[in-house]
Amino acid sequence: MRLGFLILFLQITTILCAQTQQEKIRELEMQRQAEKQRAIDRQIDSVALLINQQQYEAADTKIVSLLKTVRSVPSDLTFYLGKNSFFQNKYKQSVDWLNKYIQLKGTTGQFSEEAIHLKTKAEGELLKEQQTEAKQAAQILSKDFDIDCGPTGKVVCPVCNGSTVVIKKNYLGQTYKTCGYCNHTGALSCEDFNKLMKGQLKPNTQ
């Protein structure tokens, strides 16, 4: 009888120890991820400071280094990359990344107003370059990276602008067609958004 209780006690103790160990592992992993995110945030703050100090080359070097370490690009970094690219006269790259920020944050983001202003100026400069066939330096384009869509994991569908309907104009007037990308929701998952931006997302023809 006592032996049976002893065995049961040992089994329970073993299970509790195993659960405690798993909890410790999970807690350590959460701490590691949190520290990694804080490190990324500090790097982004450093990029912002360099841009404000007009140290654009140093900011670009830090941005390139940061892009190599993140799995998906934080939205604030898309803005700073677009902004720094503008001051480096990399207008195509600037428009690309600023447009990405605007698609993610709309008009309500922390940097939306500045992003829209800079994008308009960059588009004007890009048009001048295209007209004079100016040679562009090697550029970092957003299609080469996965973009972090934020905590919701969703983005307003850029094809239909969230309306679930695509409106096209022709000589007969306007035609209306159900958006083939957002599945009647007006939104895309972060995975589908990144695929769409890379030209890899196929429309639903059903």
Residues 110 and 178 in one domain: no
With respect to residue 102, please indicate whether it lies within any of the assigned structural domains.
Answer: yes
Would you state the pLDDT for residue 115?
95
Q: How many domains does the chain have?
A: 2
Residues 45-93 pLDDT 10s: 999 999 999 999 999 999 999 988 888 888 899 999 999 999 999 999 9
Residue 192 lies in a domain: yes
Long-range contacts of the stretch 105-111 (C-beta < 8 A, 24+)? 105/75, 106/156, 109/75, 109/79, 110/76, 111/76, 111/79
pLDDT, position 51: 95
Taking Cα atoms as reference points, which of 130, 142, 44, 135 lies closest to residue 93? Answer: 142
The stretch 117-127 carries a mean pLDDT of 93
Region 5-11 average pLDDT: 60
Q: Give the CA dihedral 54, 55, 60, 61, nearest 10 degrees.
A: -170
Q: Would 52 be classed as within a structural domain?
A: yes
Tokens representing 196 are: 């769409």
19: in domain: no
7 band by pLDDT with thresholds 50, 70 and 90:
low
The predicted model gives 105-116 an average pLDDT of: 90
* Residue 4 maps to a domain: no
We report the CATH number of the domain holding residue 77 as 1.25.40
| 50/140 same-domain check | yes
* 24 located within any domain: no
Q: Is residue 115 part of a domain?
A: yes
Q: Is residue 49 a part of any domain in this protein?
A: yes
Q: Average pLDDT, stretch 109-126?
A: 93
